[in-house]
Structure 1
Amino acid sequence: METTKKSVFTFVKKYSVILGVLCLLILTGCQSATGTVDANSEGFFTHYFVYPFSELIKSIAGIFNDNYGLSIIIITLVIRLLLMPFFLKQMKSSIQMKEKMNVMKPDMDTLKEKYDGKTDAESRTKMQQEMMQLYQKHNMNPLASLAGCLPMIIQLPILIGFYYAIRQTPEIGTHSFLWFDLGQSDIPLTIIAVIIYFAQFKVSQMNMDPKMKQQMAIMGIISPVMIGIFSLTAPAALPLYWTVGGLFLLVQTFISRKIYTNEK
């Protein structure tokens, strides 16, 4: 039971960013945004998340001569910058937890060996008690890993709100940016988005145990594939948004891992 809990917590804390991407894609892919959004749109989420983002997109685009592509990039970067402190706190906590687990490992192995093969209720109870004592000895809370869910929970309504604002702001689809029309799907941009999210996954594996890398290898395929599928059927404004956000996450993850893994 304890082993199962540990595996779940480890999975969550190491992959909360990727899980957030998957949740975002699943939620946005399961529904189709139709129509437009305005001040009279009904629904709490639409009124307080989608509509303000739609107005913000149009306002910033207006500043730059109706450049909606640039507007999407600016807002995406601002959102990611605002969420960065949560991400960095999660990253630091994750690395500190890993270091504590490495220190605890010899004692944990000894404890498991002591109760190996003992399946009666009394032995399991004693093992759990001794394990809790071990956690207290090393000043570690096994439930602390759940804090890794916080950044994902915070960012989802923001990112989903921005997603629907892009979908329900018709002005975007009538403009172009760089080589593509924002209202039409674009294969080169889709390929770039897929590559960036695959690279982001690889960077997230830096300094990870080989066994964990092998167990989570499927995640390196699922996220880019889903990005690609949705991008091929969506207006280019959306893969632009995903590309910029993914590139920011790539750089952020790389830098933070370099900083915190070298920090003593």
Structure 2
Amino acid sequence: MKRRVLIALLFVAVVAVLSGCGAMDPASNPIDPTNSWIDRYFVNPMSFLLDWFAVQFGNSYGLSLAAVTLLVRLVILPLTLKQYKSSKAMQSLQPELKKLKDKYKDDPKKQQEETMKLFQQNNVNPMAGCFPVLVQMPVLIALYNAIMRNPNIREHSFLWLELGKADPFFILPILAAITTFLQQKMMSSQMNAQMQMMLFIFPVLIFVMSLQFASALSLYWVYGNLFTIIQSYFIYVRPQSKEKLEIAAPAPKKKK
């Protein structure tokens, strides 16, 4: 539960940063790699990637965003797999953790020491679930700046959207909320009862924020959710289905 709250707080912090960025006039603040290290190492490379992919896809920044999203998600895939292994290990350690909690219920310090020792012995990192989100924080900030400060992207139209402005028909915010719910639902087997409430809180949060932000940023979020849904099927859903089939399958009869 604490980890989920931390992730939500980190996301809200990024929203606050992006809101501050939005208050600045993009035309008076063009991307300048010599101006700051953020422009040099994050915003300018992101803007270049979007421009380059757009050229490959017939000057379509909507498809360029899909390519950049896929690239980012493939880069953080090893961290996601590590998160999955850590979650499985945490589940298997729950009986041992309960024993430690009961044994040292009157000594919180000792309980924490023994818990960390148990994690180290089993190569479990309780913060592994935060890594993919942490990696995406600078990506979101760089993407927002690249969109708003690059006139080619900011003034580009894709389908019914003007990428530099919020969706006037609220279709994209609804899609962002639905896909967020679906990808959370597919990972719900890794959540305890307390964390289940995030299934509804996070999609609402995404919907409200998508009403305000540039469509390109919401589009990136929808693309990312679709990738995560497919990824979650192969990481979480499919292996569990196989396990259930193996358990349900009758044992082969021995020949007389």
Normalising to structure 2: TM-score of the pair? 0.76
Distance in 1 between the 2:149 and 2:13 partners? 20
**Aligned ranges for residues 17-166 of structure 1 at < 5 Å?**
21-32=11-22, 34-35=25-26, 36-40=29-33, 42-105=35-98, 107-108=99-100, 111=103, 124=107, 128=110, 132=114, 139-140=121-122, 144-166=125-147
Shift of 1:75: 0.5
- Name which of structure 1's ranges 153-162 and 193-202 shifts more when overlaid on structure 2: 153-162
Shift of 1:206: 1.6
Partner of 1:236: 215
What secondary structure sits across from 1:197 in the alignment? helix
Shift of 1:141: 6.8
With over 3 angstroms needed to count, the CA separation of the structure-2 counterparts of 1:76 and 1:257, relative to structure 1, is: same
Deviation sequence 1:59-92 (CA, Å, 0-9, x none): 2112222111111111011101111111111111
Give the conservation status (yes or no) of the 8 Å contact 1:95–1:260: no
With over 3 angstroms needed to count, the CA separation of the structure-2 counterparts of 1:138 and 1:89, relative to structure 1, is: closer
Greater relative contact order structure (CA < 8 Å, 6+ sep)? 1
Partner of 1:3: none
Gapped regions of structure 2 (runs ≥ 5): 244-256
Give the conservation status (yes or no) of the 8 Å contact 2:21–2:145: no
| Counterpart pick for 2:204 among 210, 217, 225 | 225
Distance in 1 between the 2:116 and 2:158 partners? 58
Distance in 2 between the 1:129 and 1:238 partners? 43
Aligned length: 238
Normalising to structure 1: TM-score of the pair? 0.74
Shift of 1:181: 2.8
Segments of 4+ in structure 1 off by > 4 A?
Answer: 14-23, 133-138, 259-263
Gapped regions of structure 1 (runs ≥ 5): 1-9, 119-123
After superposition, the CA RMSD in angstroms is: 3.4
Shift of 1:221: 3.2
What secondary structure sits across from 1:74 in the alignment? helix
Distance in 2 between the 1:19 and 1:95 partners? 24
Shift of 1:137: 11
